[in-house]
Structure 1
Amino acid sequence: MIARGYPTKEFPQWGCFEQDQAEALCNSGHQVVVLSVDSRFLWRMRKIGVTHYYKNGVNYYNSFWIPGIVTNYISRRLNYFFKKKQIKLLYKLVQEKYGKPDIIYGQFFFNTVMGVYLQKKYNIPLVGIEHAARFNLDKLDAYTHYWGSYAYSNADGIITVSQSLKQRILYHFNKQSTTINNLVHPIFFQQTLLPQQNADFHFVSTGSLVYRKGFDLLIKAFAEFCKNRNNAYLTIIGEGEERENLWKLSDMLGITEKVRLIGQKNKTEIAQILSCSSVFVLPSRSENFSVAVLEALAIGLPVIATLCGGIQECVCVKNGILIPVEDVESLSEAMKKIYCNIDRYNRQDISKDCFERFSPSVIADKLVTVFNEVIENRSTACNN
Structure 2
Amino acid sequence: MNIVILPSWHPDKNNPLAGLFFREQAIGLARQYPQVNFHFIEINSNDFLLSPRFLYKSIYNLIKFTFSSKNISIDRLNSNLLIYRKNHINWSFLHFKKLRELYFYCILKKNINIIEMDYGKISLLHAHVSFPSGFNCYKLKEEFNIPFVITEHMGPFPFAVFDNKKDLFERYIKKSLHESNRVISISHYMRNEIIKKVHRDSIVIPNMCNESVFYPKEKRINNKNFTFIVVCSSLSKEKGIDNLFYAIKRSTLEMSAIHFNIIGNGIKMQNYMYLAKTLNIENFITFYGIRNRLETAELYRNADAFIQPSEIESFSIACIEALATGIPILSTICGGPEDIVNENNGILVKNKSIEDLANGIISMINKYHLYNQNDIRNEFMEKYSEIAVCNKIMACYLDVTKNN
Is this a same-fold pair by TM over 0.5? yes
Q: Is the 8 A contact 1:136 1:286 kept in 2?
A: no
1:211 deviates by 2.4
Query: 1:276-321: CA deviations, max 9, x gaps?
Result: 0011000010111100000001101100001121211110111100
Which residue does 2:105 correspond to in 1? Answer: 84
Mapped pair 1:38 → 2:59: no
State the SS of the aligned residue for 2:84: strand
> Could you say what the CA RMSD is over the residues aligned between the two structures, in angstroms?
2.2
Query: 1:312-345: CA deviations, max 9, x gaps?
Result: 1110111100001100100000100111221111
1:236 deviates by 1.2
Out of 342, 355, 358, the residue aligned to residue 329 of structure 1 is 355
The farther-off stretch of 122-131 and 135-144 is 135-144
State the SS of the aligned residue for 1:53: strand
1:91 deviates by 1.0
The 3 A distance-change label for structure 1 pair 191 and 141 is farther
Question: When the two structures are aligned, how many residues end up with a matched partner?
Answer: 376
Please give the alpha-carbon distance, in whole angstroms, between the structure 2 residues aligned to 1:273 and 1:231. Answer: 18
Q: Is the 8 A contact 2:9 2:45 kept in 1?
A: no
Which residue does 2:30 correspond to in 1? Answer: 26
1:200 deviates by 1.5
Which residue does 2:288 correspond to in 1? Answer: 262
The 3 A distance-change label for structure 1 pair 263 and 248 is same
Mapped pair 1:178 → 2:200: no
Mapped pair 1:54 → 2:76: yes
The 3 A distance-change label for structure 1 pair 145 and 17 is farther
Which residue does 2:88 correspond to in 1? Answer: 65
1:56 deviates by 4.4
Q: Is the 8 A contact 2:156 2:314 kept in 1?
A: no
Q: Is the 8 A contact 2:247 2:355 kept in 1?
A: yes
Mapped pair 1:2 → 2:23: no
The farther-off stretch of 148-157 and 37-46 is 37-46
1:251 deviates by 0.9
Q: Residue type matched to 1:114 in 2?
A: N
The 3 A distance-change label for structure 1 pair 137 and 52 is closer
Query: 1:159-192: CA deviations, max 9, x gaps?
Result: 1101111111111111111111111112344453
Structure 2 gap segments, 5+ residues each: 51-56
Out of 105, 123, 139, the residue aligned to residue 117 of structure 1 is 139
State the SS of the aligned residue for 1:288: coil
The 3 A distance-change label for structure 1 pair 146 and 245 is farther
Q: Is the 8 A contact 2:8 2:44 kept in 1?
A: yes
The 3 A distance-change label for structure 1 pair 236 and 189 is closer
Query: 1:101-124: CA deviations, max 9, x gaps?
Result: 211000111101111122222211
Which residue does 1:205 correspond to in 2? Answer: 230
Which residue does 1:308 correspond to in 2? Answer: 334
The 3 A distance-change label for structure 1 pair 335 and 173 is same
Q: Is the 8 A contact 2:126 2:148 kept in 1?
A: yes
Please give the alpha-carbon distance, in whole angstroms, between the structure 2 residues aligned to 1:180 and 1:135. Answer: 17
Structure 1 gap segments, 5+ residues each: 379-384
The 3 A distance-change label for structure 1 pair 192 and 101 is farther
Query: TM-score scaled by structure 1?
Result: 0.92
Out of 105, 123, 128, the residue aligned to residue 102 of structure 1 is 123
Which residue does 1:134 correspond to in 2? Answer: 156
Please give the alpha-carbon distance, in whole angstroms, between the structure 1 residues aligned to 2:297 and 2:164. Answer: 36
Which residue does 2:304 correspond to in 1? Answer: 278
1:39 deviates by 4.1
Q: Residue type matched to 1:77 in 2?
A: K
The farther-off stretch of 101-110 and 139-148 is 139-148
The 3 A distance-change label for structure 1 pair 145 and 300 is farther
Q: Residue type matched to 1:289 in 2?
A: F
Matched residues, percent identical?
24
Mapped pair 1:362 → 2:383: no
Please give the alpha-carbon distance, in whole angstroms, between the structure 2 residues aligned to 1:66 and 1:187. Answer: 36
Please give the alpha-carbon distance, in whole angstroms, between the structure 2 residues aligned to 1:132 and 1:113. Answer: 14
Which residue does 2:193 correspond to in 1? Answer: 168
The 3 A distance-change label for structure 1 pair 200 and 229 is same
1:359 deviates by 0.5
Q: Is the 8 A contact 2:228 2:306 kept in 1?
A: yes
The 3 A distance-change label for structure 1 pair 13 and 39 is closer
1:229 deviates by 3.2
